[in-house]
Amino acid sequence: MSGPDSRAVGEMKELAVDAASEGRRLDQWLAAALAPDVSRSRVQALIRAGAVTLAGTAVTEAKRKVANGERYAIALPEAEAPEPRGEAIPLDILYEDDSLIVVDKPAGLVVHPGPGNWTGTLVNALIHHCGDTLSGIGGVRRPGIVHRLDRETSGVMVVAKTDRAHRALAAAFADHGRSGDLERAYVALVWGVPERASGVIDAPLGRSTRDRTLRAVVPAGRPDARRALTRYTVLERYGAGPPDEQIAALVECRLETGRTHQIRVHMAHIGHPVVGDPDYGRAFRTKMNRLPPDMAEKVATFPRQALHARLLAFRHPETATIMRFEAPIPSDMVELIRCFAALA
């Protein structure tokens, strides 16, 4: 195959269009058929490169409508050298085998390269650490990211090292634990104390209209609305007086969906944003006026949202064993919690 990067063909797949798929765009149909191994943008690039053929003739129009009975061949390139490159960044590894690796991600570490963060990411670190043990995922020799934590959120993450593990873990996270095999628990220090000791926040999320990089609770009927459900439990309360006068709480949040910024948006939505959250907690910074001056300064200078992914459990893609991992609350957040616990 001759394409934009002139890589050799690693695998040829032949796919047939069924009646239910007739009329779909070629790129959409192929991306669905090859998911989760090959993204739609990758499919589009392969179409442009002439890697998709119908009856031996290259089809280069991604928006072409497919018809029942058509058989398309797609030449998938061999796994290439990692892009981005590996970097010798220390990792706190909780577990590793031939299929996957589980790490305790520190706050401040971006998961995946992107604008403004093309180097120094978890992916860079994993490529360096895993080396040749990575297999080609989606045509690239790289770690399989199946879920993410925000840059300033710490805690447990699992990453696939093989195509098979990537497919199985991606399916488990897409199912959001409805099968019972996936469990995710976070701890968060939030402003104020929720009225109920435990509760469910079932509120759809979409893009914020004031900043497209942020999320917001939106009407369910909005085109970009995605169901989001968080279960919370109050673990500790801080401050004197009745709950409505107490200053903060430590809560556990368990996810039944995995939307971007879900816990941060949901807790702010019920009036209890995460302490230190620069995006969703700004309106609550006046609560620091109730703190002693030395403590107020510590809270004001805390460099991140006080949110930690404490627990992750999942079924191993090869052995079918339920794996369960916990990461202790990091020292910076422990110190902040101690400050609040000392309030009379």
Active centre residues (catalytic): 150
Residues in the chain: 344
The whole-angstrom separation of Cα 340 and Cα 344 is 9
Phi then psi for residue 185, to 5 deg, are -135, 135
328 secondary structure, DSSP code? P
The CA distances from residue 43 to 133, 138, 154, 177, 285, in Å, are: 25, 10, 33, 29, 46
List CB contacts of 54: < 8 A, sequence separation 6 or more.
70, 71, 72, 73
223 secondary structure, DSSP code? T
The whole-angstrom separation of Cα 227 and Cα 204 is 4
Environment class of 172 (CB within 10 Å of its CB; exposed 0-12, middle 13-18, buried 19+): buried
How many CB atoms sit inside 10 A of residue 335's CB? 12
In DSSP notation, 230-298 reads EEEEEEEEESSSSGGG--EEEEEEEESS--TTHHHHHHHHTT-PBTT-TTT-GGGGGGGGGS-HHHHHH
Phi then psi for residue 32, to 5 deg, are -65, -40
163 and 37 Cβ atoms separated by less than 8 Å? yes
The whole-angstrom separation of Cα 136 and Cα 144 is 9
